[in-house]
A and B are shown apart, each in its own frame.
Chain A
Amino acid sequence: MAVNTNEMLVYLAIGIPILAAVMSLALKSNRARNIFAVIIGLITAADVLALYPRLASAEHGITVSVPWLESLGITTNLYVDQISFIFAFVATFLGFLILLFSVEYMSHEKSTRRYYFLMMLFIGGMVGVVFSDSLLLMYVFWEIIGICSYSLIGYWYEDRDNAEAGMKSFIVTRSGDVGLLLGILVIFFYTHTFSIQSLIAQGNHWAVLIPAALLAYVPFMLLTGAIGKSALFPFHVWLPDAMAGPTTVSALIHAATLVNAGVYMVARTMPLFVSINAADYFTAVAIIGAFTAFMAATMALSAIELKKVLAYSTLSQIGYMFMALGAAGLMANHDVGLFAAMSHLMSHALFKALLFLDAGVILHIFETKYMTKMGGMRWAVPVVFWTFIVGALSLSGVPPFSGFFSKESILEIMLQADLGNLGLALYIVGTGTAILTVFYIFRAIGMTFYGPAREKVKVSYFLSVPLIILAAVSLLICLLCPVFWSFFGFEGARPHPGMTSVYISLGIFAVGGLPAFMIYIAGDWKINTGRGVAGVLNKFLFNRWYINKAYYVIIVGGILGLARGLQFSLEWGLNGFNRGINYFSNLAAEGMSMAQTGRISTYLYFAIGGLMIFLIFFRMGVF
């Protein structure tokens, strides 16, 4: 079996972290695991980066056929192109930085065996998701990262709340996955292939094979899985609770990679659904995205835990990406929208990981998660302060930070002629959300970093170096934009934010930032806890629009009610069935053990009797 370099690199990108995860179980000390994980993180990132020159402005990606399940007539391929490269690079590069950060961050844990195992398995699984061409293989990796996420959220499982948060994320994302699996099976059942690329290559021929009544639902089935993983409305409820895990986990999994799997899914299957003109689907994607973006931003306004603010912000930014992808599917030139979504994904992953790691340092040092109890961090940890400011400016979309380019390009495509009124509405929501974004992040800065001065705390290099690297990358990545465009291979329709965009984004910054500055940085803020319109609104937002509560009442209550009803009606039948099986198998087993007398003559009677039965059956004409 000849394996060329490309194939080797693709295999290794998935294989190294997974094998390393297993190998790390054998390591004895925490120190050995630290060093091992950092080295593996570096190697994996380098391996993925080595794919870059092989993909740059290439027409087609790299296809690797995996000899797996061939005997069942299923072909399994890996496929790597620019889109999957972006995702894999983000996962492995951030993975490396975060593993480096973990050296100090997790040093107080008694044993880090589980942590490093799951983190490395996750990195491998994430690369596997984005490198799989086969929907089946992708689903396998999809579940692997789901399980890693679940176990890492509940990492401190001795605390019951954490374990429950993990369970919640698992159940919510799994209920989305049901739709995904159903969609995959429908596609396979009718088209007899799992390969996305071969479906795309068929044009709209694949759609003819699926009954028209079912076809309309197929994109939505896949979408359910995507929004479950990406935590979009109505599946968004798990992400804020997922903050119960270690902050490094939040940074890697719940800000930069796992939650992007849904974005990847939509981006990857876009050509499929464009070929069948699924306008409903793309409209739904855009609207769900816009709604989540706005809703999550309002929730962030009233959150009092620093990590929750960032979690809502993640929801909101992923909403932007979905908005761009939905718009892309509706536009004549899909690549522009796709590019906008990808660049926002990349810049968001970087600055959000940065913000999370900053938050992690603060939580680590001051051992509180409530912003109301923080204050004055600016003097305590200047490195964290300045890097947080870089992240916040980037999130706010201030030129020349990375968020500016990506967010502006998303907003700009909404004004393209072929989107019509929908585009205008999305543009307005997007701009409004951007204003809220500026407000809540500077609110967080004011509450966390300003106030009475505190004593300076020393921050270890293991913590500060990744922060500085990320801040620098967030600042400088816009310089790489031309490289990025040519990597994607389009020259003509490149989005280029002009001076107008600069003015607009500065306007947004001023409108959102000034009140936040007045209240939280310069002013003497206090939380409105009750009366008046503002108080009611605050309560509404603080309780997450009561969606969580409503879910609890409807789903938990409803399911329990339904369960009771079902229990009532089915229990008798099922129990009867169970008891029947139990009874008869016990009876049969009794009979068998009676036959097993231990006397050899009985055994011989059985054997010879069996022989005779064959001959009798033969005489009777059975055989």
Chain B
Amino acid sequence: MNCAVYSLALIAVLAVVITMFNRVKNEMGKAEFGLIIGGILAALGLAIFSFNQPAGLFSASYHGIFIQMYVTPLAIFFEILVLTAVLMLILASWDYTRKTRYYGLFLLSTMGVLLLPFSRDILTLYFAWELMTVPTYALVLFSPSKKSVEGGVKYLIFGILSSALMIFGMMLLIVTSGHTDLAGIGQYLGLPTNRTDLTFLTGVLLVVAMGIKIGLVPFHMWIPDSYQGAPRLVAGYLSAVTKKAGIIALIMVVFVAAVFSQSQYASVFLFLSVITMFWGNVAALKQKNVVRMLAYSSIAQMGYILIGFSVNIQFGLEAALYHALTHAVMDALAFIAVFAIFHSTGAYMLDDYRGLARRVPKTALALSLGLFALAGMPPLAGFTSKLFLFKAGLDGGLWWLSLLGLGFSVFSLAYYLKPVMAMYGHEEGEVTDDDVYVPPATGIAMGIGVILLFLLGLYPNFFMELIARAVALL
């Protein structure tokens, strides 16, 4: 029996306990927070422990309620990804809010994300998707202001649009194929005679539904506004974690349920990849607000991931998953650092960042490393994963797409370097040498992130093995 399921169960129990605890106490103490961190660590430990265990079907019935979950290497990989990012973000949250509600909602959403890769059934998939999304509506509006209400409403409306399109697409799938499990649908649609124009429409509906969550151009418009309005760590969660959930759902629908034919998905993702890279990178260039810049950067990064989707080879998907992992870490780190800077110095525009390296040296270093990694500088994580993606492009015969991605990577330095240069540049005005305090939990979270940047950059094999198995056993 595979332990991965227990790690999901652990998070589920934790989420429920913390949510119920809200009735008892509004504010959390150190003990409760320790419980959460311990629980996440234990779940992460279980996921890593189950690394080499065989894949299989987990089923349990309790008084007629029948639960089925498919434990695959993909699910284990995704669990590790999500729990790592969530660990960093929750650790950093502790310094800013002690509200029990916040953690309860956070964990409920995490539970939904974790459930996603286990579900091989359209109904559970949709359930997991909504479980992931609904708590985030509340989280985005956690500390309401005029700006955040605007962002929150946009997020809500796009979330609803996404859900509606998804239900529509799923319904069409069930009706046309007569199956509810993804593998069955895949088998049915595997026969070319079963494929109609309606199948393509279904595929497009699902891609758009997930594309909204992932932030693919042109379904990305809500992202900058919502990220800007949301508490920055929640924005980090949306960017680092829920986007990856969209990627996983997309993999399930496209590669397991085969909603597109081989030639169709290659060209659909090629199209999306090119415009997403283009729009994200170019729009990021002019941003004055660092969070908006990160929002566009995370749109652009999804374009790189789609390179791996559009080449029709196994290594492409492996590279895409590896980039999903490294991006989760890099983005979580960047958002945490940006939030720490905002919280302790009040800086959030590029102009405010001038000379910050002298006031918050460690945070500035962590943010710079995170941005360098996002830009793809060796030997950090982003370099290795982009290297894999571009290599996949070359192997898959799309050399020009790799070249384009490389070009955009170089181009992206233009905006990634802006905050770094501002922070380390000479400050012209007077230097306020007051000791700015960055709280310890944030420091630990950033430390974890920085270590992972190097580990993932220098030592990709640990995960690439798992990913190779995940893709092979899709």
Contacting B at CB under 8 A, from A374-400, are none
Contacting B at CB under 8 A, from A573-601, are 585-586, 588-590, 592-593, 595-596, 598, 600
CA distance A262 to B204 in the complex (A): 60
Cβ of B158 within 8 Å of any chain A Cβ, yes or no, is yes
Inter-subunit contact A609/B460 (CB<8 Å): no
CA distance A606 to B279 in the complex (A): 13
B-side contacts of A617, CB under 8 Å: 271
Cβ of A602 within 8 Å of any chain B Cβ, yes or no, is yes
CA distance A67 to B458 in the complex (A): 10
CA distance A607 to B212 in the complex (A): 8
Q: With A70-B464, A610-B219 given, is the CB distance from A592 to B158 under 8 Å?
A: no
Q: With A610-B218, A623-B268 given, is the CB distance from A592 to B283 under 8 Å?
A: yes
Inter-subunit contact A585/B221 (CB<8 Å): no
Inter-subunit contact A589/B267 (CB<8 Å): no
B-side contacts of A70, CB under 8 Å: 461, 464
Cβ of B318 within 8 Å of any chain A Cβ, yes or no, is yes
Inter-subunit contact B157/A607 (CB<8 Å): no
- Counting chain B CB atoms within 10 Å of each CB, which of A71, A585, A598 scores highest? A71
Inter-subunit contact B158/A603 (CB<8 Å): yes
| From B208, B315, B461, contact of A611 by CB (8 A) | B208
CA distance A589 to B263 in the complex (A): 32
CA distance A72 to B208 in the complex (A): 33
Cβ of A572 within 8 Å of any chain B Cβ, yes or no, is no
Shortest CB–CB separation between residue B224 and chain A, in angstroms? 7
CA distance A606 to B222 in the complex (A): 11
Inter-subunit contact B225/A589 (CB<8 Å): no
Cβ of A212 within 8 Å of any chain B Cβ, yes or no, is no
Inter-subunit contact B286/A72 (CB<8 Å): no
CA distance A588 to B284 in the complex (A): 11
Cβ of B96 within 8 Å of any chain A Cβ, yes or no, is no
CA distance A609 to B222 in the complex (A): 15
Cβ of A479 within 8 Å of any chain B Cβ, yes or no, is no
Cβ of B201 within 8 Å of any chain A Cβ, yes or no, is yes
CA distance A607 to B201 in the complex (A): 15
Cβ of B200 within 8 Å of any chain A Cβ, yes or no, is yes
B-side contacts of A417, CB under 8 Å: none
Contacting B at CB under 8 A, from A34-72, are 67-72
Inter-subunit contact B282/A72 (CB<8 Å): no
B-side contacts of A592, CB under 8 Å: 279, 282-283
CA distance A119 to B282 in the complex (A): 43
Cβ of B183 within 8 Å of any chain A Cβ, yes or no, is no
Inter-subunit contact A600/B153 (CB<8 Å): yes
| From A67, A69, A607, A618, contact of B208 by CB (8 A) | A607
Inter-subunit contact A614/B286 (CB<8 Å): no
Cβ of A332 within 8 Å of any chain B Cβ, yes or no, is no
Shortest CB–CB separation between residue B293 and chain A, in angstroms? 12
A-side contacts of B219, CB under 8 Å: 606-607, 610
Inter-subunit contact B388/A614 (CB<8 Å): no
Inter-subunit contact A595/B221 (CB<8 Å): yes
Cβ of B444 within 8 Å of any chain A Cβ, yes or no, is no
A-side contacts of B436, CB under 8 Å: none
Q: With A600-B157, A609-B218, A623-B268 given, is the CB distance from A68 to B459 under 8 Å?
A: yes
Cβ of B391 within 8 Å of any chain A Cβ, yes or no, is yes
Q: Mark B63-81, 1 if CB is under 8 A from A, else 0.
A: 0000000000000000000
A67 and chain B: residue at smallest CB distance:
B461
Inter-subunit contact B285/A623 (CB<8 Å): no
Q: Mark B209-237, 1 if CB is under 8 A from A, else 0.
A: 00110000111011011000000000000
Inter-subunit contact B285/A610 (CB<8 Å): no
Contacting B at CB under 8 A, from A67-86, are 67-72
Cβ of B264 within 8 Å of any chain A Cβ, yes or no, is yes
Inter-subunit contact A68/B157 (CB<8 Å): no
Shortest CB–CB separation between residue B6 and chain A, in angstroms? 25
Cβ of B154 within 8 Å of any chain A Cβ, yes or no, is yes
Inter-subunit contact B464/A606 (CB<8 Å): no
Cβ of B468 within 8 Å of any chain A Cβ, yes or no, is yes
Inter-subunit contact A623/B154 (CB<8 Å): no
Inter-subunit contact A607/B161 (CB<8 Å): yes
Cβ of A480 within 8 Å of any chain B Cβ, yes or no, is no
B-side contacts of A609, CB under 8 Å: 218
B211 and chain A: residue at smallest CB distance:
A610
Shortest CB–CB separation between residue B276 and chain A, in angstroms? 11
Shortest CB–CB separation between residue B315 and chain A, in angstroms? 8
CA distance A610 to B158 in the complex (A): 14
Cβ of A622 within 8 Å of any chain B Cβ, yes or no, is yes
Q: With A68-B459, A71-B468 given, is the CB distance from A607 to B282 under 8 Å?
A: no
Cβ of A615 within 8 Å of any chain B Cβ, yes or no, is yes
Shortest CB–CB separation between residue B80 and chain A, in angstroms? 17
Inter-subunit contact B158/A623 (CB<8 Å): no
A588 and chain B: residue at smallest CB distance:
B282
CA distance A70 to B278 in the complex (A): 31
- Counting chain A CB atoms within 10 Å of each CB, which of B222, B282, B391 scores highest? B282
Q: With A71-B464, A606-B218, A611-B208 given, is the CB distance from A596 to B224 under 8 Å?
A: yes
Cβ of A2 within 8 Å of any chain B Cβ, yes or no, is no
CA distance A593 to B218 in the complex (A): 13
| From A602, A604, A607, A615, contact of B204 by CB (8 A) | A615
B-side contacts of A603, CB under 8 Å: 154, 158, 221-222
Inter-subunit contact B221/A615 (CB<8 Å): no
B315 and chain A: residue at smallest CB distance:
A71
Shortest CB–CB separation between residue A520 and chain B, in angstroms? 51
Inter-subunit contact B460/A71 (CB<8 Å): yes
A-side contacts of B221, CB under 8 Å: 595-596, 602-603, 606-607
Q: Mark B169-206, 1 if CB is under 8 A from A, else 0.
A: 00000000000000000000000000001001100110
Q: With A603-B154, A610-B218, A623-B267 given, is the CB distance from A68 to B391 under 8 Å?
A: no
B322 and chain A: residue at smallest CB distance:
A71
Inter-subunit contact B283/A593 (CB<8 Å): yes
A-side contacts of B468, CB under 8 Å: 71
| From A67, A593, A606, contact of B286 by CB (8 A) | A593
B414 and chain A: residue at smallest CB distance:
A585
Shortest CB–CB separation between residue A116 and chain B, in angstroms? 19
A-side contacts of B201, CB under 8 Å: 615
| From B200, B222, B279, B315, contact of A618 by CB (8 A) | B200
Q: Mark A110-140, 1 if CB is under 8 A from B, else 0.
A: 0000000000000000000000000000000
Q: Mark A450-482, 1 if CB is under 8 A from B, else 0.
A: 000000000000000000000000000000000
Q: With A69-B460, A593-B283, A614-B268 given, is the CB distance from A604 to B200 under 8 Å?
A: no
- Counting chain B CB atoms within 10 Å of each CB, which of A603, A609, A617 scores highest? A603
Inter-subunit contact A68/B200 (CB<8 Å): no
Inter-subunit contact B264/A623 (CB<8 Å): yes
B319 and chain A: residue at smallest CB distance:
A71
B-side contacts of A67, CB under 8 Å: 459, 461
Inter-subunit contact B158/A71 (CB<8 Å): no
Contacting A at CB under 8 A, from B264-295, are 264, 267-268, 271, 278-279, 282-283, 285-286
B-side contacts of A622, CB under 8 Å: 267
Shortest CB–CB separation between residue B416 and chain A, in angstroms? 15
B-side contacts of A618, CB under 8 Å: 197, 200, 204
CA distance A614 to B272 in the complex (A): 10
Shortest CB–CB separation between residue A603 and chain B, in angstroms? 4
Inter-subunit contact A68/B461 (CB<8 Å): yes
CA distance A343 to B271 in the complex (A): 64
Q: Across the A-B interface, give the 7 residue pairs with the lowest CB-CB distance, nearest first.
A: A603-B221, A610-B218, A589-B286, A67-B461, A592-B283, A71-B464, A606-B218
Q: List 29 A-B contacts (CB under 8 A).
A: A68-B461, A70-B461, A71-B388, A72-B387, A586-B286, A588-B278, A588-B282, A592-B282, A592-B283, A593-B283, A595-B221, A596-B221, A596-B225, A596-B283, A600-B222, A602-B221, A603-B221, A606-B221, A607-B208, A607-B218, A607-B219, A607-B221, A610-B211, A610-B218, A610-B219, A611-B208, A618-B197, A622-B267, A623-B268
Q: Identify 15 new A-B residue pairs, CB closer than 8 A, beyond the known A596-B283, A617-B271.
A: A69-B460, A70-B461, A589-B283, A595-B221, A598-B225, A603-B154, A604-B157, A604-B161, A607-B158, A607-B221, A610-B219, A611-B204, A615-B201, A615-B204, A618-B200
